[in-house]
Amino acid sequence: MNNFTEPVEIAFLDASVGETPAERNVRRELDADVRAYKVSEGEFPPHVDADEFGFDAVVVSGSQASVYDDEPWIAETEAWVREAVETGLPVLGVCWGHQLLAQAIGGDVDPMGTYELGYETIELLPAAEHDPLFDGVDGSFVAFETHADEVTRLPGDVSILAETDRALQAFRVENAWGVQFHPEYDLDTARWVTENKRGWLDDATVDAVLETVTPERHAATADATRVFENFLAFAARTPAPLGW
């Protein structure tokens, strides 16, 4: 476990399906020792209470799947994440990971009936003012979005931290956070994801989003990436759960 002089040890649960930039993006953005597990292919870390676990925190990726799909690996990932939350391990869920975290703690995730795709302005809510994940982040900031499902209900003890005019964007429960936006995307990933929406969305919509995927527009997402730095700082100063 972390002793404040060594890099934070991260278990990365890669829920993306097939060959994707998910692991590359997280390794680039996280200044930490990252061990990746392809959960969509049935690869999982040890249970949190196992002697060999040894991680300081967990990050859960996005995915092309829906968290409510009837897939054994999704159910297993949800159970694993629920256990991590219950033990107090720092957890960060991104996009699909945000939705899975919500479902794991008893919330609901439903189809939006549309896509939120492209650069969007995220608005922080009053509960985020002193939240460590958003330390130093402006009250309005830009991030890339790509999702057709959304968190529609959360238990009453959850802090809702951010939103757009379409969907809830961030929440916290205990030492766990979910963010619907993608702080880890680089310019190439934003283009790759958008191109892969052809067939799901009409070409005119895809082309319109691609026109906005420019170096100048992407530079505006710098504030969003601070959540990784803040998450690692939180993980480094958070004691391991009792019994480790």
Catalytic residues: 95, 182, 184
Q: 151: buried, middle or exposed (CB in 10 Å: 19+, 13-18, 0-12)? A: buried
Q: CA–CA separation, 224 vs 205, rounded Å?
A: 24
The whole-angstrom separation of Cα 14 and Cα 38 is 5
SS3 of the chain: CCCCCCCCEEEEECCCCCCCCHHHHHHHHCCCEEEEECHHHCCCCCCCCCCCCCCCEEEECCCCCCCCCCCHHHHHHHHHHHHHHHHCCCEEEECHHHHHHHHHCCCEEEEEEEEEEEEEEEEECHHHCCCHHHCCCCCEEEEEEEEEEEEEECCCCCEEEEECCCCEEEEEECCEEEECCECCCCHHHHHHHHHCCECCECHHHHHHHHHHCCHHHHHHHHHCCHHHHHHHHHHHHCCCCCCC
CA–CA dist 100, 92 (Å, integer): 11
